[in-house]
Structure 1
Amino acid sequence: MKILITGATGYIGRRLAYKALDEGFSVRLFVRNTRKVDTELQRKCEIIQGSTFEEDNLDRALNGIDVAYYLIHSMGKGSDFEALDKKSAENFRNAAVRNSVAKIVYLGGLGEQSNTSRHLRSRNETGRILSSDPDKIDVICFRAGVIIGSGSASFEIVRNITEKLPLMVAPRWVETLTEPVGIQDVIKYLISAADSDLKGSHVVDIGTGKMSFKEMMLKAAKVMHLKRIIIKVPLLTPNLSSYWLILFTPVNFDVAKELIEGLKFPSVKENDKASQLFPEIQPESYEKAFTKALEEIYDNQVISSWCDSSGGRHCDVPFVNEISKAVYKDMHIAEVDNVEAEKVFGSVKMLGGKRGWLAYDILWQLRGIMDKLIGGYGLNRGRRNEKELRVGDYIDFWKVVDLVENKRLLLQAQMKVPGKAWLEFSLIDNTLVQTAFFYPKGLMGRLYWFSMLPFHKFIFGKMLHRVVKRAEKQVL
């Protein structure tokens, strides 16, 4: 089956493209800018550049396609977004019919047409336009509320506010009902629609059950092992709420304003067609979806930060949506010209234990004593072997979690810290890169990170310099 995915550089489209490839589909992408497409997708997919307002390019994109995914909407694109959404949907439907496409799959938003925001009304209208010729083309319109996944705006807002504010003064919209759904389940529904033999037009509402945004934040706090208090006040207008969101979350004002506007209205399921038409999919609970999203942040941003092989100065890094970059990073770089990689990496592997950390060891020892006093490992574990390492080894209060010889060493902190911490050494061509990663837990985690940054600046810089000097002297 050959499928077309529009919006493939967006949050949903990108994930759908990878999943479709895994499922064995032949994938074509229709994007406005090919340079924004992931390198891996460029290798594995056919790509056509253009927009839904360019008839020739639209025909090229839809020619020979069995199923077309329409994942386009104009969030935050000016006051005329409704007219643009309407024209775009009409052009796409007409081109799909003209090119004998069998089916269109669309993802819109939950909410009654008469009681919702302008953006959600426009998205519902888009679904209606796509479905207006059921005798000529089959259409499945999924409708979702809050999507829970690393990188989704709603998830990042809930996570950031919950992490940063022990006491929350919240507007009345925190009691508005919605139906969250995990990103993995959204992708499952979209993929299943391609194989479905449904005829005509169908609107399928998806979600895990009704809950208020207050409940979402309190359950998120429980997942993150935080205690939070929420107090409602009637004074926060949509504009004030938007400024409040951009202060504590990664979203910009335009996105925040549109989201707040939508949060004033209920967004719950109006039909049970998901369980009737796709009974094989059992949506995960909100708590499980939230936990998976947190795990995805750790994995994508730290454990899988670098590939095992690289053809250039920078290793390939898996795509992570900008909005989800919650891991703090402090990077230091040293040039290692004319020194063999084996010697440089060998010097890195000798850090810790009896030989120390090559810079301000007294500060490392003080940190170890502090760690012991609060129940941590401290520095007295040393290391298994003074020169060699393997995954699972300990180095003082660090543990080796990834090791690629002559390329990468990743250590995970086992000291007591308000969050999760890693220390990475990467050898990229003639450059040794040392990066401290930190995923904070609540307000204390953030205070801890910024209090440690001044020490990082002179400790890590000097340590990296001496690692290279030791390699140059071949004192291994």
Structure 2
Amino acid sequence: MRCLVTGATGYIGGRLAPRLMAAGHEVRALSRSAGRLRDVPWAPQAEIVEGDLSDPASLEAALDGVDVAYFLVHSLGQRDFERLDREAATNFARAAYGKGVKRIVYLGGPEPPPEEKPSAHLRSRAEVAKILLESGVPTVVLRAPVIIGSGSASFEMLRYLTERLPVMVTPRWVKNRIQPIAVRDVLRYLIAAADLPAELNRGFDIGGRDVLTYGAMMQRYAQVASLRRRVVVPLRPLSPWLSAHWVGAITPVPNSIARPLVASLIHEAITHEHDIAEYVPDGDLLGFDEAVRLALGKIRDDEVETRWTNASGRDAAAEPMPTDPSWTGGTIYKDERRIEVDAPVDALWRVIEGVGGDNGWYSFPLAWAVRGWLDRLVGGVGLRRGRRDRDHLYVGEALDFWRVEEIKPGELLRLRAEMKVPGRAWLEMYAEPGPGNTSVYRQRALFVPRGLAGHAYWASVLPFHGIVFSGMARNIARGALTQPPPGAGGPGRPSTPRSPAGSSR
């Protein structure tokens, strides 16, 4: 079938499109700017079209020849989002009917009990669902509560609140029940909806295996993320309006998005029916803890994954994507350096591969040594491990208090920190060819904090980075200038002696 995916640059749409193609469907992806999809991995296999839901003419062109149309857009975060979504849904419904579309699929939100006044966010989702269900095109509405996956606004709010606040005063809604669902399961239902019986025109509640309070979700998140148990104190006078501003102050989630989401948390978000199971078997429906592990890249305790590169490939749906907003994916602190080197790339690489052990770390030896001593005082490995081979490194081996995680000979050395720190740390060193017989040295230090202690730790060492990491980059570049020709000896040493040590982090 030919499927139109609206919101292809959004959280769900960008993850759904490649999975529809993997299931054998043709995908036409609609975006207001085709350039935003230029670099996504699946773009070459899809048909990319430009269009705007406020422009009926562009919708008619986008829907021409389409069998199944996915409505995955919303205006949350914009002023007057209810009006904007109402108009978008009306235009979409008319165009889909006029073009003979066989099925509309919409991902909406949970329905609060009839006796409760719905929040603006949920009211808008219900209104869009009604418009599509009355379009004359058979429509399936999937009503999902909190979606667990890196990039989901609801999950990011949960992540930042739990990681940054070991003690928190919260509104009463932390006691409300929620049935969170993994993004992987949401995508599975969306794909299956394309093949549901043609006569179906209704909504379905979808949710995960577990029913939890929001407070329990924070505690379970903390456990999966290896954080201490959080102290949660519900406070009756804390209104949704104050709660939204509190969330905005603590997290990077924009206030314009946090406000309607927080206002929706006054309602319980659980499934009231599970009729979808008649058409889509539950299978291995994920529980909350496993969904969080996937979102954090923690598949196994012994598996450390570089989330910023999405290198794991284990469940990309749960991990960050390039099209996700900059505030998603958790906090990653970076220190980046770049130096042009008047030496060939192979000379620069020999210096990079020779770091550590007796060769040292090319800057401020005392700071590196002190960091190594401190690490041993708290039970870490310190600097006593050195390196196994004077000239070469191998993936998996120890290097002082680092572990070699990745080597691309002549290009990249990535080290993972094994010192005692409240988070996860990496050091990356790149050798890149420059014009003529020159090269470029790039250096990245990355730190993923764990809890409030991790953020405080990064802030405490930040003043030293300008000295340690900038000095390291300069001296590695200088070391490349003194390298002997290939075959004339091992790694060159800088002219000034350097003692082995660890990191300023």
TM-score, length-scaled by structure 2: 0.87
2:120 matched residue in structure 1: 118
Report the Cα offset of residue 74 of structure 1: 1.8
Kept in 2, the 8 Å contact 1:304–1:318? The answer is no
Name the count of aligned residue pairs: 461
The one of 360, 366, 372 equivalent to 1:362 is 366
The correspondence for 1:299, drawn from 303, 306, 314, is 306
Give ranges in structure 1 of 5+ residues lacking alignment: 306-316
Task: Report Cα offsets for 1:256-296 as digits up to 9, x if no partner.
Answer: 11111111122221211222221154420011101111117
Aligned mate of 1:331, from 326, 336, 341:
336
Equivalent-residue separation in structure 1 for 2:4 and 2:132 (angstroms): 15
Matches of 1:356 and 1:26 in 2, distance apart? 55
> Matched residue of 1:204: which SS?
strand
SS in 2 for 1:195: coil
Note the C-alpha offset of 1:339: 2.2
Q: Which residue of 2 aligns with 1:395?
A: 399
Aligned residue identity for 2:461? M
Q: Is 1:421 paired with 2:425?
A: yes
Unaligned stretches of 5+ in structure 2?
Answer: 299-303, 313-320, 435-439, 485-490, 492-505
Q: Is the 8 A contact 2:9 2:323 kept in 1?
A: no
Q: How does 1:253-292 map to 2 (within 5 A)?
A: 253-292=255-294
Superposed, which structure 2 residues align to 1:56-67 within 5 Å?
56-67=57-68
Q: Which residue of 1 aligns with 2:244?
A: 242
What letter matches 1:466 in structure 2? N
Tell me whether 317-326 or 446-455 shows the greater mean CA deviation. Answer: 317-326
CA distance, structure 2, for counterparts of residue 70 and residue 335 of structure 1? 48
Matches within 5 A, 1:310-329: 318-325=322-329, 326-329=331-334
Check whether the contact 1:38–1:319 (CA below 8 A) recurs between aligned residues.
no
Conserved in 1, the CA contact under 8 Å of 2:14 and 2:323?
Answer: no
1:405 and 2:409 equivalent? yes
What are the residue-to-residue correspondences of 1:94-113 with 2, within 5 Å?
Answer: 94-112=94-112
1:53 corresponds to which residue? 54
TM superposition shift of 1:318: 4.9
State the partner residue of 2:441: 432
2:466 is the counterpart of 1:445: no
Correspondent of 1:233 among 228, 232, 235:
235
Shift of 1:125: 1.5
Local SS of the residue matching 1:410? strand
User: 1:416 and 1:298, CA in 2 relative to 1: closer, same or farther beyond 3 A?
Assistant: same
Whether contact under 8 Å (1:3, 1:65) holds in the other structure is yes
CA distance in 2, matches of 1:18, 1:378: 45
Tell me which of 369, 373, 380 is aligned to 2:377.
Answer: 373
The AA in structure 2 aligned to 1:411 is: L
- Partner in structure 2 of residue 474 of structure 1: 483
Per-residue CA deviations over 1:300-348 (Å, capped at 9, x if unaligned) read 315649xxxxxxxxxxx95554122411111112112x42222212211
Structure 1: which amino acid aligns with 2:170?
A: A
Indicate the larger mover: 83-92 or 184-193. 83-92
CA distance in 1, matches of 2:143, 2:456: 40
Distance 2:124 2:433 in 1: 50
What is the CA-CA distance between 1:137 and the residue it aligns to? 2.7
Distance 2:38 2:283 in 1: 29
Q: Which residue of 2 aligns with 1:313?
A: none
- SS of the aligned residue for 1:324 comes to coil
* Deviation of 1:62 (Å): 0.8
Is 30-39 or 155-164 further displaced after alignment? Answer: 30-39
Secondary structure of 2:203's counterpart equals strand
* Conservation of the 8 A alpha-carbon contact between 2:102 and 2:198: no
State the 1:368 CA deviation.
1.2
Q: Is the 8 A contact 2:345 2:432 kept in 1?
A: no
Give the whole-Å Cα distance in 1 for the aligned partners of 2:469 and 2:176.
Answer: 48
**3-state DSSP class of the match of 1:11?**
coil
User: Is the Cα–Cα contact under 8 Å of residues 424 and 447 in structure 2 kept in the other structure?
Assistant: yes
Give the structure with the higher percent helix: 1
Q: Percent identity?
A: 38
Change (3 A) 1:319 1:298: farther
- Structure 1 residues 77, 113: closer, same or farther in 2, change over 3 A? farther
CA-CA distance at 1:112 after TM superposition: 2.5
Q: For structure 1, which segment, 113-122 or 347-356, has the greater mean C-alpha deviation from structure 2 after superposition? A: 113-122
Paired AA for residue 441 in structure 2: L
1:314 matched to which residue of 2? none
Q: Does 1:464 align with 2:468?
A: no
Partner of 2:70: 69
Q: Is the 8 A contact 1:335 1:432 kept in 2?
A: yes
Please give the alpha-carbon distance, in whole angstroms, between the structure 2 residues aligned to 1:275 and 1:219: 27
Contact 1:153 1:323 in 2 (8 A): no
- How do 1:176-215 residues align onto structure 2 when only pairs under 5 Å count? 176-208=176-208, 209-215=210-216
In structure 2, the CA distance between the partners of 1:429 and 1:56, relative to structure 1 (3 Å rule), is: farther
Whether the 8 Å CA contact 1:149–1:290 is kept in 2: the answer is yes
CA-atom RMSD, angstroms?
2.0
The Cα of 1:428 is off from its aligned counterpart by: 4.2
